[in-house]
Structure 1
């Protein structure tokens, strides 16, 4: 059983309570929990790719951390970014590698 997500309520509960509820209960509570359809590890890889392609680095950092918890290795994270660099942008890779070092260590 996955850990209950509270980031929405923790960060946005007062400002945007409905958004926080949807984030925690629907996105993470219902969608991410469907591991019989797609593993959390695979969902992390897909989410990392989507956030990387959009250049959303604060969320990307959070999902790299989550991906690590879901079993994505440092070498796999580097390979994901290397692959995506050709499709989504070289500068985005340069911006993401320091996040990987921060999360996984040098």
Structure 2
């Protein structure tokens, strides 16, 4: 079941008054896979253990099921806000992940550049400097992966 299958989903995403925890988790997992990619989510799940299992469950249900399924903002806007938050708090690994997600969500490299320029003013130039370096590295990795990919058959 996805967020749009539930009554009132247009207002609250998958978090409905009668939604089960499993429905919220499942809806969050759908969005998490769409935004971050199945490979990333599969790695995160493969690496969880008794210590991290509750954390992985929480972020799937609350962040992805509770927030990312809400229709109030586009995924592009959610990515812009998330990138800004990562810069503001200096979460560089998460920033790299969310830059990739922003591309998946339809933001262009120019959009991301403009977001990072905005962060220079409101989060500080040193943070934006690191963010630009992080984005450069992500784009380099993405370009390299594209160049290394086998050509599609004719």
Task: Pick the TM interval, shorter chain.
Answer: 0.7 to 0.9
RMSD: 2.1
How much does 1:3 deviate? 5.3
**Superimposed CA distance per residue, residues 81-102 of structure 1 (whole angstroms, 9 cap, x where no aligned partner):** 1111112111111111122222
Q: Which runs of 5+ in 2 are unaligned?
A: 1-29, 144-154
* Match status 1:84 vs 2:141: no
Instruction: Calculate the TM-score normalised by the size of structure 1.
Output: 0.83
List structure 1 segments (4+ residues) > 6 angstroms apart after TM superposition: none
Q: Which has the larger radius of gyration?
A: 2
Which ranges in structure 1 are unaligned for 5 or more consecutive residues? Answer: none
Structure 2 residue 31 is the aligned partner of structure 1 residue 2: yes
SS state at 1:51 partner: helix
Alpha-carbon deviations, 1:46-68, whole Å to 9, x = none?
A: 01111111111011111111011
| Counterpart-to-counterpart distance in 1, 2:125 and 2:132 | 11
Match of 1:25 among 61, 76, 79: 61
1:67 lines up with 2:96 in the alignment: no
Over residues 24-79 of structure 1, what are the superposed CA-to-partner deviations in whole Å (9 max), with x where a residue is unaligned? Answer: 23311332122x21111111110111111111101111111101110111111111
